[in-house]
Amino acid sequence: MQTQTITSDSLAKAIRNVPDFPKPGIQFKDITPLLADAELFAAAIDLLTRNIQPGSIDAVVGIDARGFIFASAAALKLQCGFVPVRKKGKLPYDCHEETYDLEYGSNTMAIHTDSLRPGSRVVLIDDLLATGGTAGAATSLLQKVGAEIIEINFLIELSFLNGRDKLKGFPVRSLITY
Ligand code: AMP
């Protein structure tokens, strides 16, 4: 497959904008057409991992739920493990938890306390950066387990929501920016 010739623009064309989902006023970025295309999916993984040498990190950390799709494929490519950050109540063993504010209410994310050894070098991946609350909570969880975040990668960034403000001090990259 010639994934080297596929650019972020080609990926962007495969993302469907669904207005008013899951509630009025939200423009949902639907990645399923991209995932269904083998070449585009492979190119997305190549682009998400292009700064990292296979074997040079200990794990790719993925965020529940669409982040898992990209993070697990990236982990295979980078020859390292995959570690999930999940919504509270989903992981079965001892967890660290981190709560962050939403527009209405709050959300809590969790990671297994034994998921990574202190000093582990990790890349964090999610499908989309919006307000940054979710990824910010994930960075706090990774600090609780003592991991070193080498890079944070998103397929999509909604830059007008200033999510990067919650990720200050970390190298953040996104393939497609709106
Ligand atoms: P946030 O915490 O505001 O940065 O939201 C990021 C999380 O919410 C990601 O895990 C996304 O999967 C999801 N998300 C937020 N906004 C959208 C959107 N417009 N389209 C698709 N997913 C979204």
Catalytic hit among 16, 39, 66, 173? 66
17 in any annotated domain = no
32 in any annotated domain = no
- Centre of ligand 1 from the C-alpha of residue 130, in Å: 5
| Residue span of the structural domain in which 150 resides | 54-177
CATH no. for residue 78? Answer: 3.40.50.2020
- Centre of ligand 1 from the C-alpha of residue 1, in Å: 30
Q: Given CA atoms 105, 106, 107, 113 in this order, what sign does their dihedral have?
A: negative
Q: Report pLDDT digits (tens) over 127-142.
A: 999 999 999 999 999 9
113 in any annotated domain = yes
Number of domains in the chain: 1
**Residues lining ligand 1, CB < 6 A?**
26-29, 63, 66, 126-135, 163
Give pLDDT, residue 132: 98
Give pLDDT, residue 104: 86
Give pLDDT, residue 113: 98
> φ and ψ at 68, to 5 degrees?
-60, -35
Given a cut of 70, the residues of the chain with pLDDT beneath it are: 1-3
71 in any annotated domain = yes
154 in any annotated domain = yes
65 in any annotated domain = yes
26 in any annotated domain = no
Give pLDDT, residue 103: 81
Known catalytic membership, residue 148: no
95 in any annotated domain = yes
The b-or-e profile of 97-133 (16+ CB within 10 A means b, else e) is: ebebeeeeeeeebbbbeebbeeebbbbbbbbbbbbbb
